[in-house]
Amino acid sequence: MYQPMLFIHWKQVRHVLIPFVVAAFSLPMLAVQGLGTDGSRAVSVEIYQIVSSSQLWLPLFPALAGGVGVVLALTAWNWDHKLGHVYALSLPVARWEYALLKMSAGVVLGLLPTIALWLGAHLALATITLPTGLTAYPSHLALRFFLATLMAYSFFFALGAGTIRTTLWVVGGLLALFVGSALVGDLVAAYVPALSEMSGLDLATRWLVKVGGPLQVFTGNWSLIDV
């Protein structure tokens, strides 16, 4: 049962996933292009240049991971929604088992861009010589990439699995959290000046990206090359 699910998902997503795989493979190479010790400049200048230049590309890695996750999640449910769930209902499996198989198939497909990124990072690093004091972290970067893909995939997969009403509730709830916390924060600060330092919006954002928050994986150190 698992293999057909994986195959169907692959058929659905391949045209969109392949460009992502190519992008994941190429991004590390773009990040290190023109860098490395060539002996013509002082090592100290090399270090500064390598770190500052490679960091310019950093935001693209989590963005790409997020994109992969969204694409995999949306294509996972695409044909079910299109065909009115007839195929799924014809199978001799429970609903939860069907969803689990489908989700794990997406996770496995998420490994493709991750492996491409890992290979690309190793290849990119093989083309440059790092000066003493700098270290390359291709495997850490690949792991972060996979985790970020998994997070985005899980969130949108859960949304896709539910009804339109659930999706509206979740998206509406998130919007309400941001807008409401900002409004309530301002209102409270206006009446209780001692609470003016407490911003609901800051609190919500902090909770999302700090330790324990769902978006924590998208922050942190995404460096391919660091000290």
Partner 1 sequence: MVTLGFGAAVAIAPGIPGQQLPTPPTEHELLETIESLRPELEEARRLAEAATARRRTERLAELAARPERPSEWVQAGPIWIVTPPGTAELAAEVFADVWREDFAALTGSPALDNAVFAFQWAWARPDPLVVDPASAAGRPIHRVELTRFWVGSRDGLRERVREAVWSTLKGDIAEGSPLARWLGASRYPSGERIARHVALSAAVPSRACLSGVLTGCEAILGLRGEAEYARLATARPPDAPAQLLLQALRLGGEGAWARLLAMQHASPLEALVWAAAVDTDILMASWRSELVDHRPTADAGLATTAGTTLLWALALALFALRSTRWRIA
Nearer residue to partner 1 within complex by CB, 79 or 137: 137
Residue 18, token pair as written in the block? 């392949």
> How far is it, in rounded angstroms, from Cα 76 to Cα 157?
7
> How far is it, in rounded angstroms, from Cα 224 to Cα 130?
12
129 binds partner 1 (CB under 8 A): no
47 binds partner 1 (CB under 8 A): yes
Query: Could you tell me if 61 and 124 are in contact, meaning their C-beta atoms sit under 8 angstroms apart?
Result: no
Query: Could you tell me if 65 and 117 are in contact, meaning their C-beta atoms sit under 8 angstroms apart?
Result: no
Partners of residue 225 on adjacent β-strands: 136
From 27-35, 57-65, 128-136, 171-179, span contacting partner 1 (CB under 8 A):
128-136
Tell which one of 119, 140, 182, 205 touches partner 1 (CB under 8 A): 140
Residue 136 host element (H or E): strand 135-136
Tell which one of 18, 43, 175, 184 touches partner 1 (CB under 8 A): 43
Nearer residue to partner 1 within complex by CB, 29 or 107: 107
Query: Could you tell me if 155 and 61 are in contact, meaning their C-beta atoms sit under 8 angstroms apart?
Result: no
Using only C-alpha atoms, the chain has a radius of gyration, in whole angstroms, of 22
182 binds partner 1 (CB under 8 A): no
81 binds partner 1 (CB under 8 A): yes
Residue 155, token pair as written in the block? 């969130």
Contact residues for partner 1, defined by CB under 8 A:
42-45, 47-48, 51, 80-81, 85, 88-89, 95-96, 99-100, 103, 132-135, 137, 140, 143-144, 147-148, 150-151, 153-155, 157-158, 160-163, 166, 192, 194-199, 203, 211-214, 216-217, 220-221, 223, 226-227
